[in-house]
Structure 1
Amino acid sequence: MMKQEEFRRLVRGESRGWLASATRGALWVLSLPYALGVSLRNLAFDRGWREVVRARLPVLSVGNVTVGGTGKTPMVEYFASQLREKGLRVCLLSRGYGVSDGPNDEALVLEENLPDVPHLQGRNRAQLATIADEELESQVLVLDDGFQHRRLGRDADVVLIDATDPFGGGRLLPAGLLREPFSSLGRADLVVLTRRDAIDEDQRRSIKRRLGRWTKAPWAEVSFDPTALVDAEGAERPIAALAGKRVATFCGLGNPEGFRRTVALLGGETIDHRDFPDHHPYSRDDIESLLAWVAEVRPELVLTTQKDLVKVRLTLLGSVPLAAVKIAARVDEGAEAIDHVLAQIAAKVPREE
């Protein structure tokens, strides 16, 4: 089976040779029925042929148009935190990718970082909205990964664009990384460029100019700052503790390059890295493999992401400390546009009787 990073290189056109070209051609053919399905589904909602369920509470959707790795979890955390600071009772709603017998990795991270914000997961988000309203007495709903979930109406659509891979190869799945064509950005109320510090100003302007063909929505740019090192027991250490350390890293993300780039800027010496598929569940065999790997490369510290640590749940790999890099969103441009969206959402909160 093709690894995640190999697939990304393939659809970006970075893999060369006749086999890579033939594979891209086959994937393009496979993308045609997907494109037709996406177009028909969006047309059905646009024309009112499919029902849109309106919740009594205002809904803020945070999503994207590419698969994996745009930074949805820290951005959902950011928007929920901002609404909480306005004194509102917030509830998160999500599909819950990978959910079987409990909350998935994203829900566990948000539960740790937002302990006073409930998180409901399930396929029927309209039903979850009712539960949040009637049983949890919420005032505002934040829909995680909601851009393609059009059945639940929303009052604002925030769409995230990853600066390190903004166009997803320019093709729909499986020929590229696009979940929808960029014309769908016409539905966006706010476009947010994430990881903006990973590229220069000219590149940011180019991305904004190209996306301007499909949307006139307000624009914002954010970076993700490392704030602390946290272990499985919740103990935190300052980022400065990394200085001069020999570090091994692993992660299971849609875009592992973002994590590797973050670690590279923290002052430690990265001696090896292992990638796992997005939302990887980490079996006993995986843990044994990690233990053997750590024994081989002999780092002073092993780093991963919060999404991975909540599933591994170890403070040590062998005798080596294991910690996650805790990150938070920082708004670099467009704070007024973000504040305007949040104010619109807050203004629609039903008055309490």
Structure 2
Amino acid sequence: MIGPFSSLRRAMYRRGILRSESLPRPVVSVGNLAAGGSGKTPHVRFLASWMTGLGLKVAVLTRGYGRESRGIVWVSRGGGPLVSARMGGDEPVLLAGSLPGVPVLAGEARVQAGMECLRRQEVDVFLLDDAFQHLSLRRDADILLVDAGRGLGNRLTLPLGPLREPAGNARFADALVVTKCAGLAQGEGVAATVPFPADRPRAFSRLVARSLVERGGAESPLPSPGVEVVAFCGLARNDQFSATLRESGFVIRKFMGYADHHWYRTSEIGKIASAAGGLTVLTTEKDLVRLPDRLPFDVKAVRVGVEFLAGWDSLSRFLLERMRFAGGA
């Protein structure tokens, strides 16, 4: 049972039995309690773009789930991906391709990845992707994401439920963001079920389709509603992608879903090509970087962005305060 182990591990870090290390720059973490997608990568991209817009030099540190490499990998030095998704991980490569000027490093030990980054580039703040359980690195702001569509599920830990650690550990977060909200009322209802202190920042967001992205990175506007498409993806919740397509006005003639972080085989590529029959083929950005180099069809990814329904003002003020305090300003 993962629940008792994760609680014991967190308690050992809090009591100093296991020691956390620090980086000499502010560290902001984005993570979740539940296994699977809560929108971590889009929120990391949103935060990185916001911080960059403030004139800060941002670097992203990530584990690089599913990669075939070990140790520290420079996924990007700020000029786009340097490695394939197999070597850097699909989500790091996605971030590397959509965050110009932002270095992205994958590494099991993120404090070492952060120090490696500082040896070669100037950094004002580190963003950690999927790091609520990465307790070996101290953070100045710990943002917990909860998917509005499923909340905390049955509130049990793996394998009996969806949680990586007990629901009560939400109290260790500094800020809460309820993501993928159909509306503010839904988000507020889900937030009320999360054991999170009432005096800390909470915000509510949704993911919205912004544009279409080609494999080379070229971006184009969404077409007018009514375009017929064939779509596929491999996410924790594939139904959310199909819902996003319908909300954006696409007419889905065929939808194929695969497991999260799925690597596409030749036979599967053939099935997608057969289903396409000349129609536009759409997938997610995360799937786009996992596809083989050569395809028998043209494919584009739907780029989604984060839109806050409420709470961003208080959350952004909180983050600025934490970063300023950590930076000694």
Q: Which amino acid in structure 2 is aligned with residue 325 of structure 1?
A: V
Q: CA deviation at 1:299?
A: 5.9
Counterpart residue number, 1:300: 279
2:192 to 199, 204, 209: 209
Q: Which amino acid in structure 2 is aligned with residue 312 of structure 1?
A: L
CA deviations over 1:274-297 (Å, ceiling 9, x no partner): 111111122333323322333xxx
CA deviations over 1:116-140 (Å, ceiling 9, x no partner): 1011111111111211223222121
User: Which structure 1 segments of 5+ residues have no match?
Assistant: 1-32
3-state DSSP class of the match of 2:289?
helix
- Aligned residues of 1:182 and 1:214 also touching (Cα < 8 A): no
What TM-score comes out, normalization by structure 1 length? 0.83
Q: Which amino acid in structure 2 is aligned with residue 222 of structure 1?
A: S
Query: 1:330 aligned to 2:307?
Result: yes
CA deviations over 1:24-64 (Å, ceiling 9, x no partner): xxxxxxxxx22221121111112111001011111000000
Counterpart residue number, 1:106: 91
Query: 1:271 aligned to 2:271?
Result: no
1:142 to 127, 133, 154: 127
Q: CA deviation at 1:342?
A: 2.5
Q: Which amino acid in structure 1 is aligned with residue 279 of structure 2?
A: E
- Aligned residues of 1:139 and 1:349 also touching (Cα < 8 A): no
Q: Which amino acid in structure 2 is aligned with residue 80 of structure 1?
A: A
Query: 1:90 aligned to 2:58?
Result: yes
Distance 1:86 1:237, change over 3 A: closer
Counterpart residue number, 1:342: 319
Query: 1:219 aligned to 2:199?
Result: no
CA distance in 2, matches of 1:35, 1:235: 44
- Aligned residues of 1:315 and 1:322 also touching (Cα < 8 A): no
- Aligned residues of 1:161 and 1:191 also touching (Cα < 8 A): yes
Counterpart residue number, 1:163: 148
CA distance in 1, matches of 2:165, 2:296: 40
3-state DSSP class of the match of 1:308?
helix
Q: CA deviation at 1:315?
A: 8.7
CA deviations over 1:85-110 (Å, ceiling 9, x no partner): 12111111111101114211111111
Query: 1:187 aligned to 2:155?
Result: no
- Aligned residues of 1:314 and 1:322 also touching (Cα < 8 A): no
- Aligned residues of 2:231 and 2:256 also touching (Cα < 8 A): yes
CA distance in 2, matches of 1:184, 1:322: 41
User: Which structure 2 segments of 5+ residues have no match?
Assistant: 70-86
CA distance in 2, matches of 1:120, 1:78: 18
- Aligned residues of 2:2 and 2:164 also touching (Cα < 8 A): no
- Aligned residues of 2:254 and 2:275 also touching (Cα < 8 A): no
Matches within 5 A, 1:192-271: 192-196=177-181, 198=182, 200-211=183-194, 213-216=195-198, 217-241=200-224, 243-271=225-253
CA distance in 2, matches of 1:346, 1:38: 28
CA distance in 2, matches of 1:245, 1:314: 26
1:60 to 18, 28, 31: 28
- Aligned residues of 2:230 and 2:275 also touching (Cα < 8 A): no
Distance 1:350 1:215, change over 3 A: closer
- Aligned residues of 2:59 and 2:127 also touching (Cα < 8 A): yes
Counterpart residue number, 2:39: 71
State the superposition RMSD in angstroms. 1.9
- Aligned residues of 2:140 and 2:323 also touching (Cα < 8 A): no
What TM-score comes out, normalization by structure 2 length? 0.89
CA distance in 2, matches of 1:299, 1:36: 53
Q: CA deviation at 1:316?
A: 6.0
Which one is further off, 172-181 or 128-137?
128-137
Counterpart residue number, 1:48: 16
- Aligned residues of 1:90 and 1:139 also touching (Cα < 8 A): yes
Q: CA deviation at 1:149?
A: 0.4
Q: How many positions carry a matched residue from both structures?
A: 311
Query: 1:115 aligned to 2:100?
Result: yes
CA distance in 2, matches of 1:299, 1:222: 36
Distance 1:201 1:129, change over 3 A: closer
CA distance in 2, matches of 1:350, 1:80: 17
- Aligned residues of 2:264 and 2:292 also touching (Cα < 8 A): no
